[in-house]
Amino acid sequence: MGRELVLNLLTKGAKVAAIDINEKSLQETAVLAGDRNVNLSLFVTDITDKPAVEGLLDKMISKFGAVDGIINNAGIIQPFIKVNDLSYEVIERVMNINFYGTLYLIKTFLPHLLTRPEAHIVDISSMGGFLPVPGQTIYGASKAAVKLLTEGLHSELSGTNVRVTVVFPGGVRTNIMSNSGLADRMSSSTEGAQKILPAEKAAALIIDGMEQNSYRVLVGKDAKMLDLLYRLNPAYAAGLIAKKMGALLSPK
């Protein structure tokens, strides 16, 4: 989805700095951008490395003159197992990438964004950030932290030039499974595939929400439906998801 966000912004004429720990992935994005990559700069960075993230601001200002917005999209899921079976190493990796990586970028760029005539912060949470998903409890906790961090920022920055948007994607066809170091255990049936939103459409919805200064963006019919259901009847919605996740948590 990060790649599609980059390509969407480039199509709109934006100058984009793409950050990824995977240099190969960045280079592939640059190739796909074609002639548009004249406005694209690549930064190979581990977002869990706070000093490395803090060094990005000067590099980007040197390249572009200013930064007017950030989109925090990087994230990984956990293995589909219960908290009791997760190692602290895995738990810390998920939290470091999903929450602290987001926080480091915000803390690094926010002082500069506040000096701009208009600026924007977009943070990608998840449907799992407001609805409990068994087997993804730590992932959900990290995305719930992103949700409240973003909503808190929205309140704190009210009256400033910095707009803030939190995004809740549902099922989106991305590389998050492989990027998380996991084999794909999700259904690959035609019916299941048809229900998953293409990353290109998800990116377009996110950028549209950013341009409209939306407070929150629900990406996909599943996210919209479960957001409503969880607000109406949290216990029922949680039970529904727990039942659907049962097969993934069964011993293989």
Question: 215 catalytic, yes or no?
Answer: no
Amino acid identity of residue 70, one-letter, is: I
Q: Write the CA distances from 161 to 52, 110, 115, 119, 190, integer angstroms.
A: 27, 11, 8, 6, 45
Q: Which one of 126, 143, 147, 230 is the catalytic residue?
A: 143
Measured from the Cβ of residue 188, the count of other Cβ atoms closer than 10 Å reads 8
201 is catalytic: no
- Amino acid letter, 179: N
Under a CB-based contact definition with an 8 Å cutoff, are residues 58 and 112 in contact?
no
Look up 139 and say whether it is catalytic.
yes
Q: Which of 104, 126, 139, 147 is catalytic?
A: 139
C-alpha pair distances (Å), 141 with each of 84, 202, 229:
15, 22, 20
Q: Are 108 and 158 in contact (CB under 8 A)?
A: no
Active site residues: 125, 139, 143
